[in-house]
């Protein structure tokens, strides 16, 4: 394996995920982006998209089972929203970063330069692909053992701070609770051509402008403004 792919230390990667694979090629595939195979035709393993598809389903079942058992008083709609917050792209990307997966990623030189949202998406997919690889190699129990310590610890904060709500809904609820005011939103500026417009939206509590947000749609700008308003108020 190392002769075919000297760029990655599979033993170190297995140490990282705390599992000894019967078929290490599954783990190698889990960290391989499609773009890497386009530049390395000699590679004899698959990219991670099929494993990511499988891992996504396993992850959803593991998290659903955990939430269903832990929060017996919560209705289906709230559990669905909490699950979505727990396994969204940002959450899974953070889990990948904390794990140290970045240095093991196999991707094209172009993809390797991507940062921000693009890199988050890749890291989140790799996390799910590792789950899929573990499931195929060792079964459901091993996949759950990988997921539990890396995601379940964030659940109570999501519940306590109502992070499962979108920022705009959360800020409205907090503003009504703490100040008896319903926030209002106002367009402060519009820049750029019609096909590439950027909106600046201010969020107000009566006459107080609490924060501003920017986005390529008014909805996106409002959500950012609300998120910043929560931080500005310390709520």
Is 56 catalytic? The answer is yes
The two structure tokens encoding residue 151: 């995601």
Catalytic residue among 52, 56, 111, 222: 56
Active-site option among 46, 73, 114, 128: 128
Q: Is 128 a catalytic residue?
A: yes
Q: Which residues are tagged catalytic?
A: 56, 128
């Amino acid at each position: 394996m190392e002769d075919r792919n000297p760029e990655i230390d599979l033993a170190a990667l297995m140490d990282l995920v705390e599992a000894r694979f019967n078929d290490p090629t599954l783990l190698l595939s889990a960290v391989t982006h499609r773009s890497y195979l386009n530049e390395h035709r000699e590679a004899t393993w698959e990219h991670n998209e099929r494993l990511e598809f499988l891992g996504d389903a396993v992850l959803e079942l593991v998290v659903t089972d955990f939430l269903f058992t832990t929060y017996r008083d919560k209705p289906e709609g709230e559990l669905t929203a909490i699950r979505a917050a727990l396994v969204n792209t940002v959450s899974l990307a953070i889990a990948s970063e904390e794990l140290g997966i970045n240095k093991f990623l196999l991707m094209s030189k172009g993809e390797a330069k991507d940062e921000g949202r693009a890199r988050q998406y890749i890291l989140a997919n790799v996390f799910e692909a590792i789950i899929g690889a573990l499931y195929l190699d060792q079964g459901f129990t091993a996949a759950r053992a990988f997921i539990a310590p890396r995601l379940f610890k964030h659940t109570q904060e999501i519940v306590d701070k109502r992070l499962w709500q979108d920022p705009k809904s959360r800020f409205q609820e907090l503003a009504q609770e703490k100040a008896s005011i319903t926030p209002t939103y106002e367009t402060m500026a519009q820049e750029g051509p019609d096909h590439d417009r950027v909106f600046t939206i201010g969020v107000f509590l009566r006459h107080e402008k609490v924060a501003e947000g920017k986005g390529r749609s008014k909805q996106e700008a409002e959500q950012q403004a609300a998120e910043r308003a929560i931080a500005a108020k310390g709520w």
